[in-house]
Structure 1
Amino acid sequence: MRMITFLLVGLTVHVVFFISIFDIYFTSPLVHGMTPQATPLVPPASRLVLLVADGLRADSLYTLLQNGSSRAPYLRKVIEERGTWGVSHTHVPTETRPGHVALIAGFYEDVSAVAKGWKENPVEFDSVFNESRHSWCWGSPDILPMFSKGASGDHMYTHTYPAGEEDFASTDASRLDTWVFTQVKTFFESAKSNSSLKASLLKDRNVFFLHLLGIDTNGHAHRPMSKEYLDNIALVDTGVAEMVSIIEEFFDNDGRTSYVFTSDHGMTNWGSHGAGHPSETLTPLVAWGAGVNSAHKVTEPQPYDDGYLQEWNLQHTRRVDVNQADIAPLMASLIGVPFPLNSVVKMTQKKETTLSFLFTPYQPLTESKQAEFTHKARILIQLEKYEDAISLCQALISRSLEGLVYYHNYDRFFLGCSVVFGFVGWTSYVVLVILKTHASLDRNPSLLRQTPSRSLARLCMCVTVGITVFLLIQRSPVTYYIYCLLPVPVWYSVLKESGTLTDLIRSAPSLPLWKCFCYFVLVAFGIELLVVSFFHRAMLTVGLTSLSLWPFVSSLFGRAKVRALSWSLGCLCLAAFPLMPVVGREPNIHLVTCAGLLTLFTSACYLWSSRHRTPLHLSDRPQFVAQMLLVAVCAYVPSLTHSSLQQKQGLPLLNQIISWTTLASSLLVPLLSSTRIFHRLLSIFLSLTATYLLLSTGSEALFPPVLSWLMFVWINIEQEAMLAQGVSGRQELSTIDFSANIDITKMRQLKLDDIRRSYFFVFFIITAFFGTGNIASINSFDPASVYCFLTVFNPFIMGGLMMWKVIIPFIIVMCTFETIQVATQLSSRSLFLIVLVISDLMALHFFFLVQDYGSWLDIGTSISHYVIVMSMTIFLMLLSVVTHTFTSKRLLLWRRPKMHFT
């Protein structure tokens, strides 16, 4: 019961620390209730046509063919003769939803919004569509509802195709764009005979939005350099030309239509997006029509030194780059609608909720300096010094943006200190619990029953009241109370255990202090290596190479040469995986087949070698035969699926049935096997590897067999390590049964070497996470990995399958750690507490590395690392319970009937 209580408290504390990062770094910057603002100038256009080619890279549109022609001749002609062109710079994450929010709403959505909803608004935001008189939209069912839901009035009309049309296995995904063009053509044809619709179309402040998803779908399915992707660009160019002709004809060529052609994000060469590579963040922008400057020829070098002008052969035409969020106010000004009310005015709001003597305004832009800026600008305008006025306003805008960031992050330092204080307190408490309950210390009988003094309790109560009153005056959110008050009971628990510190001091003379110091230095170095590995995966290779030397620097090599050599060889083989590229790998289905054969070979060798030592029961043999046959089938299914998709024959139904059945049974089948240690582990390995093969496209399929081999050696070599330490009563591995009742009297106290075991576990968990990829980088996701299960676009199911692929190596390592705890006669709580301390130290390190400056990629990476480590800690708490059930429980589908004699 105490263990369950401790886990629940620990889980609660870590969930609070995890959620705190969203209040500190992921809060929405929006302020509602503002007065609409619009340009006072007469709008040059009555209507706007926005065309978004989803997933279109800038270079794919602008680069000429080898013969000097363009694959998009109409848009090229617009660039050189009629309009203005440039690059729209997107922000991370380069995904469809945040890209469209920036384009149409004019602000960069906070990262947490991606997890809150795909088709709906997680926060209330305004858009150009909402401010228009009427908006007609055609395209994807994943994007259009996001802007229609919550819009005021009934002036938005959306037309979407069925979600099932977004199929990566489609023979021709460009039909998605053809559908849009056909629907728009039909719409204007019908408007000619529909008087009410025609009257609405002839009014001003109208918007037409064409969302073209075909390029993105073809890019995911065939890569951006494929014929399908490039041909789709040509199709879009032809469709744009036809749409312009139809619209101009309908409005009698009145010259009151503005056109904006752009993209929400680009795409990497390997067909993914989400991170900050230039191929993802550089998207095309072409604008023409009413209110847009016509093409401007230049003879002097332009202020762009990225080399693209020469590469695209556009150095003779003026290039105008913008930030993606600036396209929304551009569109609003063209048709004269108010700018989207996504205001981020923060100073007044923060001043009202902060005590006057504690409020520190943004010094470069105080209220007096704001008035001074405005006064100077008006004088310059009156003197007709417009260039100087523009420069002054640009400086004011720059300082205003910096001030917005200052006020948006105003509470960050205060909240950060509270979280760190609580974090340090929790880690200190766990260390004291380890020393008190799992270490052999000299106990002071006079302190064993010591209770916390009343003065300590009163002090904590006074602090609690003081913090609560302060937060009430500040009108702080409810979550602030949790972050600020949580450290109080945590530190109360730490101070309450002062007797344990006294026991540690009393035991110091009898402790091997030099050995303790060496262990702590090595673990500290190891933790730093793991932290660096989050930035450079190759550090895992360095770590695995170092671990391969462990038996040689200890006495293990002399005791068990074969196991020591197997350990070293296993570490070196596993060390090759972090050196492989995370993204950009071409599919190699032959390696998936080889991984299946390797799995079958190693399993067969084990069963043959253990036929005398740990023979299979007759009732278990059919299950292992069936599992090995399933692995063979799963090794062949990806090859068959890949071949079918290459021939554009779609996903075979039989393959889909096998894949989903294997996935559904992967957690059930091992529970049917014997609970003897290696029989259960082999069943788990076969079941999980079968699913992993279905989710693999190349060399990563070899990772589970190699990892499982090393984990098997680790279990065996830890037995030798126990003998080397003089631990008596070692139980033979072959006789261990997971379901056997543990004799508590045989449980031993913690030793220094258990710190090493716990660190090995954390290291292998990180290796399992980053060994074959980096789930922290969205663009490492390859849709081809889930093609055995589905090809129709579904972000949640696809994301869930990819997460399960990441979890499978986790489970293998967790089951190994569970086995080691049983084999080394140590309470599972003991080792897990050490693991908790190591993980929390890593999380605290990453908390200090979080930054809100630099590139968007740097900011996002620093935050994601903290989130990953915290998620891992919480996940390990939950997974430890699941793993215990996974290894020790058995399902009996039938029982022998009892015979009764009379």
Structure 2
Amino acid sequence: MNMLLFFTLGLFVHFVFFVSIFDIYFTSPLVHGMTPQFTPLPPPAKRLVLFVADGLRADALYELDENGNSRAPFLRNIIMYEGSWGISHTRVPTESRPGHVALIAGFYEDVSAVAKGWKENPVEFDSLFNESKYTWSWGSPDILPMFAKGASGDHVYTYSYDAKTEDFGANDATKLDTWVFDNVKDFFDTARNNQSLFSKINEEKIVFFLHLLGIDTNGHAHRPSSRDYKDNIKKVDDGVKEIVSMFKHFYGNDGKTTFIFTSDHGMTDWGFHGAGHPSETLTPLVTWGAGIKYAQKVSAQQFDDAFLKEWRLENWKRQDINQADIAPLMASLIGVPFPLNSVGILPVDYLNNTDLFKAESMFTNAVQILEQFKVKMTQKKEVTLPFLFTPFKLLSDSKQLNILRKARSYIKQGKFDEAVSLCKELIHLALEGLSYYHTYDRFFLGINVVAGFVGWTSYASLLIIKSHSNLTRGLTVKKSSHLLPYGFLAAGLLVALFLLIQACPWTYYVYCLLPVPIWYAVLREFQVVQDLVASLLTFPLSHFVGYLLVFTVGIEVLVLSFFYRYMLTAGLIVFAGWPFLTKLWTQAKITSLSWTVFSLLLAVFPLMPVVGRTPDISLVMGAGLLVLLLSLFAVPSLIKRKGSLAKEELLVHLLQILSTVLSMYVVYSTNSSLLRKQGLPLMNQILSWAVLASSLVVPLLSSPALFQRLFSILLSLMSTYLLLSTGYEALFPLVLSCLMFVWIHMEQETLQQSGISCKKKLASIQFSYTMDITQFRQLYLDDIRRAFFLVFFLVTAFFGTGNIASINSFELASVYCFLTVFSPFMMGALMMWKILIPFVLVMCAFEAVQLTTQLSSKSLFLIVLVISDIMALHFFFLVKDYGSWLDIGTSISHYVIVMSMTIFLVFLNGLAQVLTTKKLRLRGCSMYADILHESISFIVLFTVGTMGLSWSAVLRSALSLELGSHC
């Protein structure tokens, strides 16, 4: 098969397998067509004020400071005397968008919406704001439009500041909160002189939403342990106190206002959020005002955690709820219909009302969720053949009616507690049924994806054996039966007809029909399978079992490393002993010793805490000095060489030294500026982007000689990596690259040991885009080990300094040299490039391994794809939809990572080929090279001087700079 065609098909197949996880696990839970439900009793409140302190952890609000005082005295006074409090448990992803959707709409993140948009509402859903008579909201432009767009009528009004105000490097992020408080006050001052507005804000069923982003911004910039974060909580508490006082004064203290204070998510100690750590999922909830129970003193509580005693709130009743439960609570308080898509359960213990009101509200809640269940069941029943449809047995039509009748009967009889209990039972059954129908096709789709997976892996393996090995050489090849294509064609038509009858989405056709041609291609190679079995029968059984066992253990170590990073350390320690298990130690002692040393050095990184926990800019500067030291070692040899090409090489090398110096200066200067709260200097920002842009171009100007080109790639990418580093991870690509250089030497040694002659010495090998196909050889068993090494090093590149399965293990401070204004996609792209830089270094080294071992990129790459696919299939079976949300999210992340790695291998293999084989020429550079040749020292020192940074300052920053917890 043509190589381009094969990789195109392979890319398509893996893309389908990758997308399948979103159809199986990441489909929208939303349904439409339900009837609005509301409680037929007068509500306790006319208006509701919702404060959301973005990024506020529960412990940060409730705990006392070092002097025994509360950081939020007003809210603590509410807890002790006026209202009810507890913890709101969020779900992953702990981000602002899904958090606010849960709070205001009552359902957890519609994951299908993540790919459609970030700042606006890309899917239709009902919310408290939409059901209200009027809603006024103030705050971030990233959140407010989400609930205004798509709202029926023109009754949701938003007031946002400029997005550029969300600057993590700003002098004072609390201005984001004071802006909100000041604008609310101005709004009510205006209303006194505006009859139309005055009339609106005196209506019933209205909502005021204050989104306070300052705490989140300070948490990202300075971490939750910082004085900035804690002082911001005090500032918010003061602002809330002023707003409450203003509301009481404006409305004449009529007792018809309900106040709710909470947060969308928490934050880790290192200033990030997105995963399921308790510091991210435990958020505060304080409620008071109309319809809310007063503070209740208790002698004992049901919670067994240590928080209550630590917060000194053990004598005030704590009531924990799920974040989505806040939406029905707010709807009940102001008497609007429950949001149609809400899955929240009304926390009746928060209500200060009659038992009749509580029972009626819970009944409304049950009917509202049951409506979703009915619509979901009807939709699934309509697109499923009657004899294949299996209804949710725990909630049949008759059981629904019985529970509703019984609950209504209890309410009429005054048995309100029994009615509430029965409604909760109905809600839990309806939610279970919703999940059942939401995942109805999961098993069917999973079987088809697994069939395609196994088929593709089998076909790739057969292709390796057939085209790149000696196992089937000389064996006869028989033509396949003519009935085979017709049989698979008939099977494909039957599958398509089955899907057509059930009106399945078009993606189902892809998942179900893709295995048909894949398995046809496999069965066409049946003769190869027979020949392989015949060849293996001549192979010693003990050797075969041994190789199979080692391969299986290796795959399992790779899989386990996704859960336990220290497994990479164990693997690298085994790698360190590899030369001593073979004859390599006796043949190449220096190379073997270097391999052992760098393997052990690299093994240290997975044992370190993930990036973000102990930032230390001195380590970044130290890594930069090591890069400069290595660069300067190469300068004398370049100066001694003669000719225009040598001068051009010198110029390129000097540019890379200059780039490293600039990176160190920018890191040092930016860090100092942010510590002084002067923001990101514009010149630093320009230099950072210039270094990033040049990092992929400058290596193309260097010599195509193997080690010179690889060293040039390292220098360029390290300049960018330094700008994206905050601590010890700056050393990681340097150690990894050193091990890669030794790996290339080791592979040539093993090639000689196996009896295969090496036509060229490493020093004379050059990268070339057009390779001589006669140099390529057939595959041997040792090539499987080479492919496994590549996959292991790629996984090490992923998990060596962080847990890529949890994005919160990386910190925003790593992009502050490029931008500090909040931009999720740009910041995410920069962090992704930081993750991919070690990946690129490994792939470039792999290109050199292929070249030095005389292997075609296709053959060795096929083995890598097979290993990756086996891992991906492993993770596909480990994906779960039960247990904690952290477990569910992590299991899906692992599968997505492995599939992404397989797909990215195709692209990054192409990028590595460009970086290693392409050569650009500088025209007319000889004159400049001559000048630089004579005054290289002067130019370097002059450049450093113009930037205001002396070598002594660099050394001081690298050796003695103490920055505490700041980046």
Give CA-to-partner distance per residue, 1:239-268, whole Å, 9 cap, x none: 111111112222222211111110001111
Displacement of 1:203 after TM fit?
1.0
Q: Aligned residue for 2:338?
A: 339
Secondary structure of 1:852 counterpart? coil
Query: What is the identity, as a one-letter code, of the residue corresponding to 1:38?
Result: F
Secondary structure of 1:739 counterpart? coil
* 1:540 aligned onto 2:568: yes
Q: Aligned residue for 1:351?
A: 381
Q: Aligned residue for 2:168?
A: 168
Q: Aligned residue for 1:550?
A: 578
* 1:597 aligned onto 2:596: no
8 Å CA contact 1:442–1:506 kept in 2: the answer is no
Displacement of 1:116 after TM fit?
2.6
Output the CA distance in 2 between the equivalents of 1:794 and 1:260: 29
**Distance change (3 Å), C-alpha of 1:594 and 1:873:** same
Give CA-to-partner distance per residue, 1:398-441, whole Å, 9 cap, x none: 22221211111111001000000010000000001001100113
**Distance change (3 Å), C-alpha of 1:837 and 1:442:** closer
Query: What is the identity, as a one-letter code, of the residue corresponding to 2:379?
Result: Q
* 1:831 aligned onto 2:830: no
Map of 1:277-316 to 2, 5 A cutoff?
277-299=277-299, 301-316=300-315
Q: Aligned residue for 1:778?
A: 807
* 1:137 aligned onto 2:167: no
Q: Aligned residue for 2:124?
A: 124
Q: Aligned residue for 1:752?
A: 781
Query: What is the identity, as a one-letter code, of the residue corresponding to 2:573?
Result: T
Give CA-to-partner distance per residue, 1:45-75, whole Å, 9 cap, x none: 1111111011111111111234433221111
Q: Aligned residue for 2:180?
A: 180
Displacement of 1:506 after TM fit?
3.7
Q: Aligned residue for 2:426?
A: 396
Displacement of 1:607 after TM fit?
5.9
Secondary structure of 2:4 counterpart? helix
**Distance change (3 Å), C-alpha of 1:172 and 1:353:** same
* 1:718 aligned onto 2:750: no
Query: What is the identity, as a one-letter code, of the residue corresponding to 2:712?
Result: S
Output the CA distance in 2 between the equivalents of 1:24 and 1:441: 39
Q: Aligned residue for 1:808?
A: 837
Output the CA distance in 2 between the equivalents of 1:582 and 1:454: 57
Displacement of 1:714 after TM fit?
0.3
**Distance change (3 Å), C-alpha of 1:548 and 1:626:** same
Secondary structure of 2:477 counterpart? helix
8 Å CA contact 1:436–1:500 kept in 2: the answer is yes
Give CA-to-partner distance per residue, 1:14-66, whole Å, 9 cap, x none: 00000000000000100012111112121111111111011111111111234
8 Å CA contact 1:443–1:503 kept in 2: the answer is no
Q: Aligned residue for 1:190?
A: 190
Q: Aligned residue for 1:527?
A: 555
Query: What is the identity, as a one-letter code, of the residue corresponding to 2:585?
Result: F
Output the CA distance in 2 between the equivalents of 1:602 and 1:708: 12
Output the CA distance in 1 between the equivalents of 2:537 and 2:263: 69
Q: Aligned residue for 2:530?
A: 502
Q: Aligned residue for 1:430?
A: 460
8 Å CA contact 2:464–2:859 kept in 1: the answer is yes
* 1:568 aligned onto 2:596: yes
Q: Aligned residue for 2:369?
A: none
Displacement of 1:717 after TM fit?
1.0
* 1:474 aligned onto 2:502: yes
Query: What is the identity, as a one-letter code, of the residue corresponding to 2:870?
Result: L
Map of 1:432-451 to 2, 5 A cutoff?
432-443=462-473, 446-447=476-477, 450=479
Secondary structure of 1:116 counterpart? coil
**Distance change (3 Å), C-alpha of 1:614 and 1:525:** farther
8 Å CA contact 2:260–2:286 kept in 1: the answer is yes
Give CA-to-partner distance per residue, 1:857-897, whole Å, 9 cap, x none: 00000000000000010000111112111110111232799
Displacement of 1:656 after TM fit?
1.3
Output the CA distance in 2 between the equivalents of 1:197 and 1:130: 19
Identify the range of structure 1 (826-835 vs 403-412) with the bigger mean alpha-carbon deviation.
403-412
Q: Aligned residue for 1:586?
A: 614
* 1:324 aligned onto 2:323: yes
Secondary structure of 1:620 counterpart? helix
2:692 to 646, 653, 663: 663
Displacement of 1:511 after TM fit?
4.3
Output the CA distance in 2 between the equivalents of 1:771 and 1:322: 38
* 1:707 aligned onto 2:736: yes
8 Å CA contact 1:444–1:503 kept in 2: the answer is no
**Distance change (3 Å), C-alpha of 1:507 and 1:228:** same
8 Å CA contact 1:22–1:112 kept in 2: the answer is yes
* 1:267 aligned onto 2:267: yes
8 Å CA contact 1:544–1:574 kept in 2: the answer is yes
Q: Aligned residue for 1:900?
A: none
Map of 1:378-417 to 2, 5 A cutoff?
378-417=408-447
**Distance change (3 Å), C-alpha of 1:446 and 1:678:** closer
Map of 1:620-659 to 2, 5 A cutoff?
620-659=649-688
| Structure 2: tracts of 5 or more residues without a match | 343-371, 927-967
Output the CA distance in 1 between the equivalents of 2:805 and 2:267: 17
Secondary structure of 2:283 counterpart? strand
Output the CA distance in 2 between the equivalents of 1:361 and 1:792: 51
**Distance change (3 Å), C-alpha of 1:780 and 1:896:** closer
Secondary structure of 2:460 counterpart? helix
Query: What is the identity, as a one-letter code, of the residue corresponding to 2:302?
Result: P
Query: What is the identity, as a one-letter code, of the residue corresponding to 1:782?
Result: E
Output the CA distance in 2 between the equivalents of 1:804 and 1:141: 27
Identify the range of structure 1 (523-532 vs 777-786) with the bigger mean alpha-carbon deviation.
777-786
Output the CA distance in 1 between the equivalents of 2:274 and 2:244: 32
8 Å CA contact 2:185–2:243 kept in 1: the answer is yes
Output the CA distance in 2 between the equivalents of 1:289 and 1:225: 32
Secondary structure of 2:646 counterpart? coil
Identify the range of structure 1 (311-320 vs 165-174) with the bigger mean alpha-carbon deviation.
311-320
- Give the CA RMSD over aligned residues: 1.9
Query: What is the identity, as a one-letter code, of the residue corresponding to 1:220?
Result: H
8 Å CA contact 2:475–2:531 kept in 1: the answer is no
8 Å CA contact 2:56–2:267 kept in 1: the answer is yes
Give CA-to-partner distance per residue, 1:358-400, whole Å, 9 cap, x none: 1112222222222232233334334433222322222222222
8 Å CA contact 1:595–1:635 kept in 2: the answer is no
Output the CA distance in 2 between the equivalents of 1:895 and 1:505: 62
Q: Aligned residue for 2:790?
A: 761
Secondary structure of 1:49 counterpart? strand
**Distance change (3 Å), C-alpha of 1:192 and 1:777:** same
Q: Aligned residue for 1:794?
A: 823
Displacement of 1:734 after TM fit?
1.2
Output the CA distance in 2 between the equivalents of 1:244 and 1:14: 56
Query: What is the identity, as a one-letter code, of the residue corresponding to 1:311?
Result: E
Displacement of 1:608 after TM fit?
5.7
Give CA-to-partner distance per residue, 1:137-187, whole Å, 9 cap, x none: 100111111111121111111111111111111111001100000000000
Q: Aligned residue for 2:884?
A: 855
* 1:7 aligned onto 2:7: yes
Displacement of 1:443 after TM fit?
4.2
**Distance change (3 Å), C-alpha of 1:302 and 1:495:** same
**Distance change (3 Å), C-alpha of 1:295 and 1:509:** closer
Q: Aligned residue for 1:371?
A: 401
TM normalised by structure 1 equals 0.97
**Distance change (3 Å), C-alpha of 1:751 and 1:606:** farther
Query: What is the identity, as a one-letter code, of the residue corresponding to 1:118?
Result: W
Give CA-to-partner distance per residue, 1:170-207, whole Å, 9 cap, x none: 11100110000000000000100000111111111111
Secondary structure of 1:461 counterpart? helix
Map of 1:731-746 to 2, 5 A cutoff?
731-739=760-768, 741-746=770-775
Secondary structure of 1:88 counterpart? strand
Q: Aligned residue for 1:694?
A: 723
* 1:459 aligned onto 2:487: yes
**Distance change (3 Å), C-alpha of 1:848 and 1:736:** same
8 Å CA contact 1:673–1:679 kept in 2: the answer is yes
